[in-house]
Chain A
Amino acid sequence: MKLSTKHLLGIKDLTKEDIQLILSTAEQFKEVLQRPVKKVPSLRDITIVNLFYENSTRTRMSFELAERRLSADVLNFTASSSSAAKGETLLDTVNNILSMKVDMVVMRHSASGAPHFLAKHIPAAIVNAGDGINEHPTQALLDAFSMRERLGRLEGLKVAIIGDIMHSRVALSNMYLLRKMGAEILVAGPPTLIPKYISEALGVRVTYNLQEALKWCDVANVLRIQLERQNQPLFSSLREYNLAYGIKRKMLERLGKDIVIMHPGPINRGVELDSDVADGPYSIILNQVENGVAVRMAALYLLAGRES
């Protein structure tokens, strides 16, 4: 059994079996991460470059840790401190790196489709660590892993994705994944932050009412307001956003049911999530971060193992 794709560009290209394989392999890696020696020699002969054209804390550290725990050799590239700042093109940069015998590229870029472009021009396997407003596949995989770990299943699960759906690659990857795994999806947020034809395009339900979403769902995946991608005012103020769509502890307590709160980070505290929710008993935000390493190890391991 192996993955059906050479690259991990998006959840869109994966089959249900691929997703299951990555999640079940991640379970085994999670056990590895509990051992006294949290490192396995699987990718000893592989060199991976982390190509980050956009800022990142969690994802870059999580990938780097995953790579090191698989014993791969790791190169780090940050656009702001490199020749990209002198005007070198993406393809030139990558070809130069690959001529140093690098086997895999983990890439984040602010342009949607950048890793897909690269995949057409270079032989190395590419892992998309987030491209513009398109996809962030490993985030969706670790979200799925965390949901399954907490609630035991994905099929039939009611998941609300709340907030800035329009600019969120996490939302798109999550919707693709949850649909493939048979979960029910509801997106909630202000009308200006939800794409107009999302129901038709992705088969999800839409609501502009936060209470309705919270009452319905088993899991609420709350997204960050992506101010850096909004070049026009889409809501009047952060405070108003918090009043209408921010999640507060009291709201959850009044629901009188179990609910799981997730967030891909970084959190805007007091905007989409209040601190007592983010740090409270409903939140599995830090579990998500922990699981990220195991899930990325699984993805890298399975992609490297495909090279036969």
Chain B
Amino acid sequence: MKTILSEQQIALTVKRLAHQILENSQGLTNAVIIGLQPRGIFLSDRIVAELKILVAGAPIHYGKLDITFYRDDVRKTLHIANQTDINFSIEGKTVILIDDVLYTGRTIRAALDALLDFGRPSKVSLCVLIDRRFSRELPIQPDFSGKAIDTIVSDKVKVNWRENDEKDEVVLV
């Protein structure tokens, strides 16, 4: 087991990602944040908390999206659906999708399909904590990435969050 990001590093990375998102979206005036269920929510919660401090009270549209019903492997493994909660319109908005690990790109493919059923955003960008950059099966790349790592298929990257797994940590198993 090898640590990729420690608790301290994750805190710094989350701060940086929040700044980058803000820098690229003109103070969030036309942007909405959408975290991907289930494990992207831990990261999106942190980023939104940072953003709230940075925009000092301006409202932030923050939703959660579950992509279970859009997966391309329904017949291979049955996944249990989580809650989707998007109570605002994404029509014409810049959507910032947030997930913990970008691996094959299939989850994001499904997320894009799911997202388009809520309206037509003017732009969608992707923010991830870990980018397993040489494992892609679809042409999908992140716009904001915490750390890019080179892994092989048999590697397993695990992102632990203190809400769920005692402490914040990214490890290679």
Q: Which residues of A approach B to under 8 Å, CB–CB? A: 1-2, 21, 24-25, 27-29, 31-32, 35-37, 39-43, 45, 70, 301-302, 304-308
Contacts and interface: CB of A to CB of B under 8 A. Distances in A.
Contact of B117 (A25, A39, A70): A39
Interface stretch (B23-31, B53-61, B79-87): B79-87
Contacts of B114: 40
Contacts of B69: 28-29, 32, 40-42, 70, 301
A158 to B, nearest CB: 29
Contact of A41 (B80, B83, B113, B118): B113
A31 B83 contact: yes
B70 A40 contact: yes
A28 B75 contact: no
Contacts of B66: 28
B173 interface: no
Given A36-B119, A41-B113, A42-B70, A308 B84 contact: no
Contacts, number: 60
Closest 7 CB pairs of A and B: A305-B78, A37-B117, A40-B69, A28-B81, A42-B69, A2-B78, A31-B84
A121 to B, nearest CB: 24
B16 to A, nearest CB: 33
Contacts of A21: 80
Interface residues of B, number: 22
Contacts of B116: 37
A45 B72 CA distance: 10
B76 interface: yes
Contacts of B68: 28
A35 B74 CA distance: 21
Contacts of B83: 27-28, 31
B78 A43 contact: no
Contacts of A304: 74-75
B77 interface: yes
A32 B114 CA distance: 10
21 contacts: A1-B78, A24-B80, A24-B81, A25-B80, A25-B81, A28-B68, A28-B69, A28-B81, A28-B82, A28-B83, A28-B84, A32-B69, A35-B118, A37-B116, A41-B113, A42-B69, A42-B70, A45-B75, A301-B69, A308-B75, A308-B78
B40 to A, nearest CB: 17
Given A28-B83, A35-B117, A36-B117, A41 B78 contact: no
B5 to A, nearest CB: 31
Nearest to B66: A28
Nearest to A2: B78
Nearest to A37: B117
Interface in B80-115: 80-85, 113-114
B68 to A, nearest CB: 7
A308 B79 CA distance: 12
A241 B149 CA distance: 74
Nearest to A32: B69
Contacts of B78: 1-2, 302, 305-306, 308
Contacts of B117: 35-37, 39-40
B86 to A, nearest CB: 8
A41 B70 contact: yes
Contacts of B85: 31
Contacts of A307: 75
B87 to A, nearest CB: 10
A27 B70 CA distance: 16
A278 B113 CA distance: 41
Given A1-B80, A25-B81, A42 B119 contact: no
A28 B116 CA distance: 18
